Structure formats: structure tokens, C-alpha cells
């Protein structure tokens, strides 16, 4: 491999060696400490390395949940696209969890908006019937 600015060999072995080298550096950094004195927030140079690592590890990208209604069909009979409840990117464990909880609340609303899965194609057959109920009082 070599010094700075050199690329790994464009082979699987070369790439594997480079990945191993990087993993070794990260492992050494996490076990021995970071520049300036450690992985904790009390580095001698005053920089909160531990907080920086915690922040970087808490970065969460956007995502979403999908709900497909079995009776949700277009005029041609094809299934419509699933309904999505999305969340945006965030940092911090609490924010990540809150965004997902908000997306779940939206997903529940989508579920309420969907037709019940008693989707029988076609029209009802038979004669219309009127049913009348009458209450009988007990004496």
C-alpha cells in the first residue's frame, strides 16, 4: 500500500488490504484514544472528541414506512402505489426516535383511510331486502 495519496491496487485483495488498514486505524483510535489525549470529552487540547464521535454515530438518514392496501386499486384494477409515512434526516437518538413515532402516527391515519380488506370485485347479486326491527317491551 504505501504513503498518503496512493490508491489501493484495483483488485479484491488490494481493496481488502486497504479496508483492513483503515479498520486497524479506527480500532487503534477507539482503544488508544484520539489525537490530543483520548476518546473522552476531557482531552488535554480541550476538544470534546468523545462528543464528536457520539454526534457522528447518531446521524440518521431519511426513511419511511409503507402501507399497501389490498383493496386500493385504480380504475384499471392494478394496485395503487403504497401509502408512505416518511421522516427526514436527523441527529441525536431522541430526535431519531421522535421522527419515527411521528411517522407511525401518520401511518395509522393512512390505515384508517384505507378500505377494509373485504374487497370483492363486482356487484352484489340477488334481490334487495328491507329489514325492519321492532322493540318488544317486557312486562
Q: pTM value? A: 0.46
How far from 29 is each of 22, 37, 40, CA to CA, in Å?
Answer: 11, 11, 12
Condensed to tens digits (0 to 9), the pLDDT of residues 4-53 reads: 667 777 788 888 888 888 888 777 776 666 555 544 444 556 777 777 88
Asked, for residue 3, whether it belongs to a domain, the answer is: no
Number of domains in the chain: 1
Asked, for residue 76, whether it belongs to a domain, the answer is: yes
Asked, for residue 75, whether it belongs to a domain, the answer is: yes
Cα–Cα distance, 95 to 115 (Å, whole number) = 33
Asked, for residue 106, whether it belongs to a domain, the answer is: yes
Which structural domain, as residue segments, surrounds residue 99? Answer: 58-117
- pLDDT of res. 1: 47
Q: What is the mean pLDDT of residues 63-88?
A: 86
Amino acid at each position: 500500500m504505501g504513503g498518503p495519496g496512493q490508491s489501493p491496487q484495483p483488485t479484491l485483495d488490494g481493496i481488502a488490504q486497504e479496508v483492513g488498514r483503515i479498520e486497524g486505524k479506527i480500532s487503534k483510535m477507539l482503544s488508544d484514544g484520539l489525537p490530543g489525549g483520548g476518546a473522552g470529552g476531557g482531552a488535554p487540547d480541550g476538544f470534546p472528541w468523545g462528543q464528536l464521535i457520539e454526534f457522528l454515530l447518531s446521524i440518521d438518514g431519511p426513511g419511511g414506512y409503507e402501507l399497501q392496501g389490498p383493496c386500493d386499486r385504480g380504475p384499471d384494477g392494478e394496485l395503487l402505489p403504497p401509502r408512505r409515512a416518511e421522516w427526514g434526516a436527523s441527529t441525536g437518538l431522541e430526535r431519531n426516535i421522535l421522527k419515527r413515532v411521528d411517522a407511525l402516527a401518520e401511518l395509522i391515519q393512512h390505515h384508517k383511510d384505507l378500505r377494509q380488506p373485504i374487497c370483492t370485485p363486482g356487484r352484489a347479486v340477488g334481490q334487495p331486502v328491507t329489514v325492519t326491527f321492532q322493540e318488544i317491551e317486557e312486562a
